[in-house]
Amino acid sequence: MDRHNTVQLSRRLFLSSVAMFTVTATSASFARSLSGSLPWAPMSSDPPMQVVSGGWQFFTPQEAALVEAIVDRIVPADDLSMGGKEAGCAVYIDRQLTGAFGTSSRLYTQGPFLPGLPTQGYQGEANPAQRYRVGLASIDAFLKQRDGKTFAELQPADQDAFLAAMEAGKVDLPNGVKAPGFFGLLLQNTMEGFFADPVYGGNKDMVSWRMLGFPGARYDYRDHVSKHNQPYPRPPVSIEGSPEWLVKRS
């Protein structure tokens, strides 16, 4: 989501005719003095940029294969939905890791870094991008040593057993990687990708929303508020629109 900042930059620059201060290029938005009117400007909104799948921006091909295999066990293909890989969860994570999330640029990252209490939250020095790089390598190294295979080469049942052991803290991964913490990150990001708006690269064809019956980016339910206990009749829409709309147009 770094693009928001860049867009904001040019937007604020455009608007800064009223700004009274000099600006530097490092900040997301610039000091402004506003008085006498609402400083609203047309065409200055900041929509998300559609993630285009194809290629990897953060993962190496080897890492990508591992992540795709993992997201396909966290969200397995079954009669309820396609699997996490086909839904685009790995693409989603790849793109997130190149942005503000991956670098923790919005978070407090000053030291000293001390081990904390559980109530104090994550206290590690590594950001998500670094945790993926090291964490994925340590899974590969561990399995190579134990089974002589990559994760993707294991049988689904063995893959599940390995992930469950990570979750429960029953695997000692190399390089000091704490398995439950890294599994938690994988789980959180996979779910984000599966359930977020498809504009971010996952949730292909709004698959998770169709599965749940969540109508997505619709913004007006006034006609259904009092229809208690009755199913909502309309299919979901995404921020980018809906395939149903395209069908109608053609």
Looking at residues 197 to 236 of the shown chain, list those that interact with other proteins (rule: CB under 8 A): 197, 199-200, 208-209, 211-222, 224-226, 228-232
When asked if residue 80 is in the footprint of other proteins (CB under 8 A), the reply is: yes
DSSP tag of 12: H
Report the distance separating Cα 87 and Cα 97, nearest Å.
18
- Kindly state the greatest CA–CA separation across the chain: 71
- Which among 186, 140, 145, 147 has a CA at the least distance from the CA of 164? 186
When asked if residue 245 is in the footprint of other proteins (CB under 8 A), the reply is: no
Backbone angles phi, psi at 237, to 5 degrees: -125, 155
Of 61 and 112, CB closest to other proteins? 112
Shortest CB 212 distance to other proteins, Å: 5
211 burial type by CB count under 10 A (0-12 exposed, 13-18 middle, 19+ buried): middle
Report the distance separating Cα 122 and Cα 225, nearest Å.
40
Residues 159-188 binding other proteins (CB under 8 A) are 160, 163, 167, 187
Candidates 23, 141, 152, 154; binder of other proteins (CB under 8 A) is 23
Given the rule CB under 8 A, which of 40-48, 130-138, 147-155, 169-177 is the region that contacts other proteins?
40-48
Residue type, 131: R
Shortest CB 148 distance to other proteins, Å: 25
When asked if residue 39 is in the footprint of other proteins (CB under 8 A), the reply is: yes
Candidates 116, 169, 174, 243; binder of other proteins (CB under 8 A) is 116
Residues 124-153 binding other proteins (CB under 8 A) are none
Shortest CB 11 distance to other proteins, Å: 8
Residue type, 189: N
Of 30 and 56, CB closest to other proteins? 30
Candidates 17, 33, 145, 155; binder of other proteins (CB under 8 A) is 33
Of 50 and 60, CB closest to other proteins? 50
Candidates 2, 86, 158, 192; binder of other proteins (CB under 8 A) is 192
Backbone angles phi, psi at 2, to 5 degrees: -60, -25
In 35-178, which ranges are continuous DSSP H helix?
Answer: 61-74, 84-87, 89-97, 100-103, 128-147, 156-168
Helix, strand, or coil (residue 153): helix
